[in-house]
Amino acid sequence: MIAESLCVSAESRTEVRDKSSDDIDIHSLILLAKEESVLSIVYESLRALAIDDEDKAFMDFTNKGTVTDFWQFMFIARDTLGLLSKNGINAVILKGASVARLYPVPESRKSTDVDILLENPEDFEKADRILKNAGYVNEDHSYANHHREYYTPDKRVMELHSMAVEPTDNVKLNKYVSERFASIGSEIEKKKVLSVVLPVFTDGLQAFHLLLHMIMHFLGEGFGLKLLCDWVVFWNRKVEDGEVQKFLEDVKNCGYEKFLAVLTGVCIRYLGLGVDGTGSLTESGNYIYYSGGVFCERLSSETEDEFMREIIEGGKHKKSGTERMVALKGDGILDYIREFHHQTILSFPKAGRTIIALPVLYVIVLYRFLRNNRTVRGGQSALGILKSAGERSRLARKLF
């Protein structure tokens, strides 16, 4: 099913006459799978197709690299968490291996870094000192105020998080998410990922974090198929009713029911999320159920298709490093001003608290926007970027 989704996605970039394997441009399909970071996930399916020796060699090389990276990041996670624990700091691994353990072949889930969330945000500076004393290097190139990026002694990327997700411009929502993750000790459990035991979220909180992570990326730079695959493998297994209920309560409290619906619907249509009862979900009429009740109501097929196109486009931008303006909650001038202010505060979390400094910070953020427009975005006009953001915002308004 994932390979079929890639075939559909590839139609916008190459001529695909029909869906039979004889007519598909296999080389373009392989490149797209790599671009979407799912080549190792669909490796066996693609290997079964009629592909030439050069493509086979490319796939084998890429797959071996993914497996090698997986194990390196696994041991970085183990060693970093062990180092923090030895110094009295509790933490949990986000994404990465915590989700990879759910795949039939955990090593097939591509990772590019290790994400670790501190159980107590007040431990952040202490953890920073411990890591630096152990040889971790923080070059402080990130403007994010919710995590800090380090290079491990073997030059791999590790991110230390004080918050589960980046704050939004919704103060009430930020407060709920902050409080939700404030006392997570009882919702962390040890799970064996192949031969390594790591602390991960219990299923209800894991599902909520996966959803939040996708929403933040959807509204920002976008994301590709890999995160949808995470959603599929998570629900294609039995999740206890109590954990599902906790997750759905969080979704309702945040007002994310429509995003849950379109995300789940797309995964059913394109990526093999089962609704036959072998996993957690079943489908009847326009509703998705779990054994304890209604999981979500499907949105229109047009909205699901629009969402899928946006995911593919988002994955392309993220992979190429091309920045995109965030999706807005409206298309009026006040909506642009509000988001511009929010991005300024995210870029300068400390200085942004000083009202007198805001005009200068606005100028700096505007300069960065125009500079990136010229260099990173290949000279795309500011008007074009705003128009694109407006189109994405129209989809966002359907979902939030």
* Neighbouring-strand partners of residue 115: 94, 159
CB atoms within 10 A of CB 63: 19
* Residue 3 in this model has a pLDDT that exceeds 60: no
Average pLDDT score over the chain: 83
Between residues 14 and 193, the one the model is more confident about: 193
Percent residues over pLDDT 70 in the chain: 74
* Structure tokens given for 147: 């995590």
221: helix, strand or coil = coil
Question: Which segment of 85-99, 116-130, 316-330, 353-367 scores lowest on mean pLDDT?
Answer: 316-330
Structure-token pair, residue 163? 């918050």
- How far is Cα 17 from Cα 36, in angstroms, rounded to an integer? 22
How high is the pLDDT of residue 384?
53
Q: What is the mean pLDDT of residues 105-123?
A: 94
Reading the block at residue 98, the tokens are: 């915590």
Alpha-carbon distance 331 to 393, whole Å? 7
19 pLDDT above the threshold of 50: no
* Lookup: tokens for 273: 């999320």
pLDDT of residue 323: 47
Work out the average pLDDT over 54-60: 93
Each residue of 23-42: pLDDT tens digit?
Answer: 568 888 899 899 889 999 99
Q: List pLDDT tens digits, range 236-287.
A: 999 999 999 999 999 999 999 999 999 999 999 999 999 999 999 999 999 9
Triad 31, 151, 139: Cα angle to 5°: 110
Range scoring the smallest mean pLDDT among 23-27, 60-64, 220-224, 299-303? 23-27
Contact by Cβ (8 Å): 10, 53: no
Listed by start position, the domains of the chain span: 202-321, 328-399
Look up tokens 């359907």; give the residue: 398
Residue 94 CA to residue 380 CA, distance in Å, equals 35
Residue 100 banded pLDDT, cuts 50, 70, 90: very high
What predicted TM-score, i.e. pTM, was given to this entire model? 0.81
Q: For 139-182, what is each residue's pLDDT tens digit? A: 765 545 678 999 999 899 999 999 999 887 778 888 999 999 99
